[in-house]
A and B are shown apart, each in its own frame.
Chain A
Amino acid sequence: MGSVGMTARMSSPTLHVNVDYCKGCLICVEACPKGAIAASASINAKGYTLPEESDMTRCNGCRLCELVCPDFAIAVETDEERGAPLTYEIRDGHQG
């Protein structure tokens, strides 16, 4: 017997970096357990290297980057906070 299931899939969280507050210590890159943040090639007005999203599909929204940021410069926005609807994906069931 085959079955059909439905998986609610959230799109990836969004990373916000305040370019005026960030001082480029990159502790967020070191702290991220999933490797979703990386140092970017861009610098801010003071010459500090900014972090950027490297692969936000890996982000599980643990918010450790917000927690360890010494400069209150990074924030993670999930779909729930943005009010975006969940997307659903129909998957074929496996043989029972």
Chain B
Amino acid sequence: MNTHPMLKYLKEEGAAGPRLPHIMCPGCGIGQVLNYALYAVDALIQEDGLRREDFVFISGVGCSSRPASHYLQFDSGWTLHGRALAVATGAVLANPDLKIIVFTGDGDTAAIGGNHFIHACRRNLDLTILCMNNGLYGMTGGQVAPTTPIGRVTTTTPYGNVEEEFDLCRLAQTAGAAYVARWSTAHPRQVIRTIKKGVRKKGTAFVEIMSPCPVHLKQSPSVMFRDLKTNTVPLKKADTPEAAGLIPIGEFCDIDKPDWISRYQGIIDGLGGDDGAYE
């Protein structure tokens, strides 16, 4: 093809004129994650016979939330800052057959939406959460975030960050998510495979994708792409001395357990009631 294969899922023209090129800065990892998510959705449509209407994309506020709100030719919701998971909870309870993919950032997940995040994981709702983690607040000017590594210089930590960062994957795993994985934007095929697995998983799938912010970290996108390959280590080698200071990547957990809807349906069936739908 002489155009990009994933443009069929994007709105190139909107009511107010052309929508592409999108608003993200040159080399931003969010564009790449959007690309990987569309490849995964494309594969699911072809392999599992899903339809475009079966997918719903929900996002909060921030750079990472922009794709779901502006560019996708899918049903999508652009919600309040940090509250994407609250709206997604409502959507999955209203129609459990939907494949809900949440686009969220580290600020959305770990800071303002931290409580929604742990409770969505705890309830094991049938959601797929894609968290693009760039380790700072990108949209507001590169300030320190709960996910900023120790020592990183940001606009509000000019001498380096002194706080320890959240490990979102360990947090999701402890909170009870059924499937947890971390990759980076420099691992495209692994990200696509993981998103497919996450959507097929009955229960909460949390996928953290380390994503570069070339503007606020003041590096070239090519160098950051290369660094994400060398600064990461497979999870099974994460305890070795050579792995000190590297980011562990891979599947943190993959558990089969009943999701919220299955448990609730069990109660309805046990009481001999109807399916709960209003007549």
Contact = CB atoms under 8 A, between A and B. Distances in A.
A94 to B, nearest CB: 38
Interface stretch (A3-11, A14-22, A52-60, A83-91): A14-22
B10 interface: yes
B86 to A, nearest CB: 29
Contact of B5 (A30, A64, A66, A73): A66
Given A21-B20, A27-B27, A30-B225, A75 B35 contact: no
Contacts of A27: 27, 32, 221-222, 225
Contacts of A72: 4, 6-7, 10, 20, 31, 35
Contact of B3 (A14, A25, A64, A75): A75
Contact of A70 (B5, B24, B220): B24
Given A25-B27, A30-B222, A30-B226, A71 B21 contact: yes
Interface string A72-84: 1111010001000
A70 B2 contact: no
A69 interface: yes
Interface of A: 14, 16, 18, 20-27, 29-31, 48, 64, 66-75, 77, 81
Interface of B: 1-7, 10, 20-22, 24-32, 34-36, 39, 185, 188-189, 214, 220-222, 225-226
